[in-house]
């Protein structure tokens, strides 16, 4: 029953259209299908950043998130709200393999730079004195690696087969970052300096906390985006039975 509801929600209210010219179609008997899919993804990067209105795809730049927990221990607590992630559409695909029999797609990506902007609530201790600061912050991390596994299924709808992505896992490799916290009016320069020092001194702990949160949110959003595109076309239109 739940599957039927999901399928009805996914397919209801749209009109089937021919695959647009900006989407490169890859035949499933193409001996270089993986390379073809990589080229197709490359050709869509700029459009994904801006959004594709006719396919009901919102802009990927920036990716908006409600809240992310950055750190949560006795020495440092940091929560980010109204998060904006930039440059997710600027990626390099180092490896991609589509397995049509196992219904999986595996990818290895590199993001030259990812920027995060948000409102932060930071609590730390300076000389054993608890200090709290609220204000805007930027975090920049370079050369982020990502290993991605996507699983899909083929479902029947009105006599045709459609490709639906059922799950996605993302494993990010974040080596380091730079950050800058700007307190709101009130705290003096020493407070801002202390909070920034705490955020810089605890980089590896913050990475360990933020990594699974980012992985989950990115997987959910990309999965949603992929299904919004695929719902408009049959499996044979996306992967025709030819080279």
Q: Is the pTM of this model over 0.85?
A: no
Question: Contact 172/215 with Cβ under 8 angstroms?
Answer: yes
Express each pLDDT in 159-217 by its tens digit. Answer: 999 999 999 999 999 999 998 888 776 655 566 777 788 788 888 888 988 899 889 98
List alpha helices for the chain, DSSP H: 2-11, 33-50, 189-201, 203-230, 235-238
45-85 pLDDT, tens digit each: 989 999 999 998 999 999 998 888 887 777 778 888 999 99
Distances (CA, A) of 216 to 60, 90, 109, 176: 16, 19, 16, 20
* Ordered structural domains, the chain, with CATH: 2-238 (3.15.10.30)
């Amino acid at each position: 029953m739940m599957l039927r509801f999901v399928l009805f929600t996914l397919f209801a209210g749209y009109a089937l259209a021919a695959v647009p010219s900006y989407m490169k179609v890859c035949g499933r008997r193409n001996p270089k299908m993986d390379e073809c899919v990589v080229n197709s993804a490359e050709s869509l990067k700029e459009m994904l950043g801006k959004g594709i209105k006719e396919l009901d795809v919102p802009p990927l730049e920036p990716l908006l998130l409600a809240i992310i927990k950055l750190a949560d221990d006795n020495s440092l607590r940091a929560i980010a709200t109204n998060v904006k992630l930039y440059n997710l559409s600027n990626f390099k695909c180092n490896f991609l393999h589509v397995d049509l029999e196992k219904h999986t797609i595996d990818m290895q990506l590199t993001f030259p730079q990812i920027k995060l902007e948000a409102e932060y609530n930071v609590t730390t201790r300076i000389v054993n004195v608890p200090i709290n600061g609220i204000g805007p912050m930027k975090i920049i991390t370079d050369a982020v690696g990502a290993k991605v596994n996507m699983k899909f299924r083929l479902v029947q709808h009105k006599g045709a087969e459609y490709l639906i992505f059922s799950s996605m896992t993302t494993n990010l490799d974040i080596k380091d970052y730079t950050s800058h916290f700007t307190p709101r009016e009130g705290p003096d320069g020493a407070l801002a300096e202390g909070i920034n020092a705490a955020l810089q001194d605890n980089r590896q702990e913050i990475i360990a906390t933020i990594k699974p949160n980012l992985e989950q949110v990115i997987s959910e959003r990309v999965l949603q985006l992929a299904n919004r595109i695929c719902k408009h076309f049959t499996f044979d239109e996306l992967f025709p039975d030819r080279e």
